[in-house]
Amino acid sequence: MTEKVIGITGPSGAGKSTLSRKLAAHFDYTLVPIGEVMRESAKRKGFAGLTAYAEEKGIKALFADFRKDVLEAIGACDIGGVIADGVYEYELFEALKLKYNNDLILVGISLSDEDRVRRIGIRMADSEHSDMTALAEMRRRDKFKIDVGLEAVLKKADITIEKSEALLAPDEIVQACVERLSPLLRRR
């Protein structure tokens, strides 16, 4: 049975996955990348990926159809805690809160649009992409996350890593987050 769940939320390019990987290593928790769980579920249903699924069925249907798979992936972690990377659908947050109650801690991370565009541009595999393409990609991703409740989920965060802190080196961000998480983990 999963003991603790630390959910990571925030807009595209803010550093959620980097923070998630580093927190999982620090606490020796299992990392559950929600987007990857959903991609695998879409493939099992015969779709090329999440975009194809969302184009055919709609973005809200995508989350509704795969929420159970995400909850099962998190619940399948037998020992210790879980870092759930990518909690931005409000109904998923509510389901996690219902299932894990005080054993769920939500961490929100934010970063300026300019820095997010830079991060997304760096991550984009095709070196021919311009900043404008990275900006368009950021806006596309943000729209779909906002459509499923990102703003409401961010308001529920127990801990928020603010824009200025998100500019720190990844290890400094993790240290700041660990300092805030540790008292919450002991209390719960």
17-21, 57-61, 72-76 — which is least confidently predicted? 57-61
Q: What is the pLDDT of residue 144?
A: 82
Taking a C-beta distance cutoff of 8 angstroms, is the pair 84, 138 a contact?
no
- Band (29; pLDDT cuts 50, 70, 90): very high
Position 182 in a domain: no
Pairing outcome for strands 30-33 and 4-9: unpaired
Tell me which residue range forms the domain holding 130: 4-176
pLDDT in tens, 136-145: 888 888 888 8
Local confidence band at 34 (pLDDT 50, 70, 90 cut-offs): very high
* Chain segment 105-130, per-residue pLDDT in tens: 999 998 888 888 877 877 776 555 55
Give the per-residue pLDDT at 135.
Answer: 81
Residue 188 covered by a domain: no
Does residue 123 lie in a domain region? yes
Q: What percent of the chain has pLDDT over 70?
A: 91
> In CATH, what number is assigned to the domain containing residue 119?
3.40.50.300
The verdict on residue 186 lying in a domain is no
131-165 pLDDT, tens digit per residue, is 558 788 888 888 888 888 999 999 999 999 876 65
- Is 187 a member of any domain? no
Within-domain flag for 181: no
Per-residue pLDDT of 52-70, as tens digits, reads 888 899 888 888 999 999 9
Report if residue 47 sits inside a domain: yes
Residue 183 placed within a domain: no
pTM reported for the whole predicted model: 0.88
pLDDT higher at 67 or 77: 67
As for how many domains the chain has, the answer is 1
